């Protein structure tokens, strides 16, 4: 039984702070929304860690956009639909693709530096599922570069107060209206009263043992929305990135960008055979769900926990210049990618489902918005096209901001400060053992291949874990995250059980034979 709030509290007795808009999450969705809001609004921008600690910052490959190439619009739409198994909301896809250029121009205006050729033209690459080169990039750390530019801009704005190391515990509601956020900061509890609340809390990767996601991706926004009665959708659609660096020890897997395949890398099995041609006409650049499934099939056939990525045929200078970050990270793990194959395996990467919104980020709770990975308006369908996620964050983040600008009347706001207190970061490692149990269930029964029996078993185990977590209940960040993760895990399994047929990233099989991650 999921409680309405994670903690007991009396609203009359907690400290209050008023603002116009609260944004939870400082990834690209949260920051870009903040920058597009009326600069007269007083905005609280919350992050439970440091401003740059999130999935956006880790995004390598790039951001897809036709950049004024009219003839490419139709193709980008078609590629997005095809990758999503045509389960996408077509109008949302049209908006995503057609509003891409103006928002990218805006990012450039703000200071983002995408790679350019010697003539100054934007350089573009290809990734899985793209029929043309249309992915803009900043070497192999595109997310980090966009974040750098956005953070520099947000810091300049007097109307935006960034509150790092703060934990948004729950959404405060009055009937079907959101009235703000219950937050803990430095050991003090606050009610942030706001006309509009935007959830931009990112992904859910920590629910799985093996993920490319940041440690902060515990699905907090989805879980708190669910507790507040917000509608969700498509929680069963989890994207597994085909190529994370394989190592026995690493829990957080290092991503090897799909752009590496976009520049010619080939997937090979342990015998050195290139296998993707067997599975799809686009070979190594097939959509992600197909490549991940093919890799897992090869791994199962060979009874091996990994396959290999080979880019050794490309010039050493090119590799080092195009992928400096990946090159160095591989080297630090003992692999020189200019000469050796990179060991890779599929891991959790993204969730297509989440908080159900309309095209302006509105949820069914008045005044509550969502954008970025935590939101779901159906744009990605059953499997996201590569490099459409950063694009979604800016296109729909802008739409959220526009809707708020139109509807929220400026308040007369007091300027009370937040009191510094003890640092709650110190207790975030609580509940490690219970979190590990959630990871194990999800990795075993709710990975790429799923079966009805396995999902039912997962549900039973999660219920038991929930009872145990409840017994050790306490008011700490570790506990809040643990309950949020459990809630998200439960929602994924529940949705997966309701979709009996395979579609996109949700692949149902009769029984689960092999678990490569045990």
Q: So which residues are the catalytic ones?
A: 288
Q: Which of 463, 434, 458 lies closest to 444, judged by CA?
A: 458
Least distance to ligand SIN, CB of residue 512, Å: 26
- Nearer to ligand SIN (CB atom), residue 166 or residue 387: 387
Q: Name which of 363 and 389 has its Cβ closer to ligand SIN.
A: 389
Contact flag: residue 404 with ligand SIN (CB under 6 A): no
**Edge-to-edge strand order for the sheet containing 266-268?**
238-245, 342-351, 307-310, 266-268
The strand ranges marked E within 263-372 are: 266-268, 307-310, 342-351, 354-356, 368-370
Give CA separation, 502 vs 78, 185, 213, 281, 298, in Å. Answer: 21, 43, 25, 20, 20
Rounded to whole angstroms, the Cα distance separating 227 from 284 reads: 41
**Closer residue to ligand SIN (CB): 50 or 144:** 144
Residue nearer to ligand SIN on the CB measure, 141 or 166: 141
CB atoms within 10 A of CB 413: 14
> CA triplet 376, 166, 213: central angle to 5 degrees?
45
389 near ligand SIN, rule: CB under 6 A = yes
Task: Assess 60 for contact with ligand SIN (CB under 6 A).
Answer: yes
Residue 387 binds to ligand SIN (criterion: CB under 6 A)? yes
Q: Is 486 a binder of ligand SIN (CB under 6 A)?
A: no
386 contacts ligand SIN (rule: CB under 6 A): yes
Minimal distance, residue 327 CB to ligand SIN, in Å: 15
The residues that bridge with 63 in the sheet, in sequence order, are: 136
Q: How many whole angstroms separate alpha carbon 179 and alpha carbon 483?
A: 23
Residue nearest ligand SIN by beta-carbon distance: 61
For residue 212, the minimal CB distance to ligand SIN (Å) is 8
Give the closest residue to 238 by CA, choosing from 516, 503, 15. 503
Helix, strand, coil fractions of the chain, as percent rounded to 5: 40, 20, 40
Is residue 214 at the binding interface for ligand SIN, with CB under 6 A as the rule? Answer: no
Contact range with ligand SIN by CB under 6 A, out of 27-35, 54-62, 224-232, 306-314: 54-62
One DSSP character per residue, 147-158 reads: HHHHHHHHHH-T
- Segment lying near ligand SIN (by CB under 6 A), choices 59-67, 223-231, 246-254, 300-308: 59-67
- # binding residues, ligand SIN (CB under 6 A): 9
Cα dihedral sign, 76-78-82-87: positive
The residue range among 11-19, 81-89, 102-110, 253-261 that interacts with ligand SIN, by the rule CB under 6 A, is 253-261
From candidates 153, 170, 236, 258, binder to ligand SIN by CB under 6 A: 258
- Interaction between residue 476 and ligand SIN (CB under 6 A): no
State the residues that interact with ligand SIN by CB under 6 A. Answer: 59-61, 257-259, 386-387, 389
């Amino acid at each position: 039984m999921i409680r309405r709030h994670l903690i007991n509290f009396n609203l009359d007795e907690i400290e209050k702070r008023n603002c116009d808009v609260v944004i939870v999450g400082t990834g690209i969705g949260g920051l870009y929304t903040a920058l597009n809001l009326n600069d007269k609004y007083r905005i609280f921008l919350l992050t439970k860690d440091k401003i740059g600690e999130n999935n956006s910052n880790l995004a390598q490959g790039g951001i897809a956009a036709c950049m004024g190439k009219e003839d490419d619009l139709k193709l980008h739409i078609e590629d997005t639909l095809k990758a999503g198994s045509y389960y996408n909301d077509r109008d949302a896809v049209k908006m995503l693709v057609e509003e891409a250029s103006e928002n990218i121009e805006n990012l450039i205006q703000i200071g983002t530096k995408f790679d350019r050729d010697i003539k100054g033209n934007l350089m573009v690459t290809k990734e899985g599922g793209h029929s043309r080169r249309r992915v803009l990039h900043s070497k192999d750390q595109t997310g980090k570069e966009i974040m750098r530019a956005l953070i520099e801009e947000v810091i300049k704005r007097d109307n935006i107060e960034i509150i790092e190391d703060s934990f948004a515990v729950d959404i405060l509601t009055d009937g079907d209206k959101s009235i703000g956020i219950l937050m803990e900061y430095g050991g003090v509890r606050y009610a942030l009263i706001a006309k509009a609340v935007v959830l931009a809390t990112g992904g859910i990767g920590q629910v799985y043992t093996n993920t490319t996601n940041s440690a902060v991706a515990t699905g907090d926004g989805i879980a708190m929305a669910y507790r507040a009665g917000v509608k969700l959708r498509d929680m069963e659609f989890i994207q597994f990135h085909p190529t994370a660096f394989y190592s026995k020890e690493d829990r957080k897997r290092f991503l090897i960008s799909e752009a590496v395949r976009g520049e010619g890398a080939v997937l090979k099995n342990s015998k050195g055979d290139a296998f993707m041609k067997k599975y799809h006409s686009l070979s190594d650049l097939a959509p992600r769900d197909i490549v991940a499934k093919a890799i897992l099939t090869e791994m199962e056939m060979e009874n091996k926990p990994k396959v290999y990525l080979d880019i050794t045929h490309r010039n050493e200078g090119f590799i080092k210049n195009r992928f400096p970050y990946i090159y160095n990270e591989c080297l630090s793990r003992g692999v020189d990618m200019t000469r050796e194959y990179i060991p890779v395996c599929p891991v959790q990467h993204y969730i297509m489902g989440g908080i159900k919104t309309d095209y302006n980020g509105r949820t069914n709770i008045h005044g509550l918005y969502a954008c970025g990975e935590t939101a779901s308006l159906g744009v990605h369908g059953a499997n996201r096209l590569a490099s459409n996620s950063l694009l979604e964050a800016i296109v729909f983040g802008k739409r959220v901001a526009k809707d708020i600008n139109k509807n929220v009347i400026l308040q007369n706001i007091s300027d009370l400060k937040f009191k510094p207190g003890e640092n709650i970061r110190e207790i975030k490692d609580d509940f490690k053992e219970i979190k590990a149990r959630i990871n194990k269930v999800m990795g075993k029964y709710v990975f790429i291949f799923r079966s009805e029996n396995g999902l039912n078993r997962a549900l039973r185990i999660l219920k038991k874990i929930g009872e145990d977590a409840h017994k050790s209940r306490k008011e700490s960040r570790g506990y809040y995250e643990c309950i949020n993760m459990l809630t998200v895990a439960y929602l994924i399994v529940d949705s997966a059980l309701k979709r009996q047929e395979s579609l996109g990233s949700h692949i149902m099989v009769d029984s689960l034979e092999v678990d490569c991650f045990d």
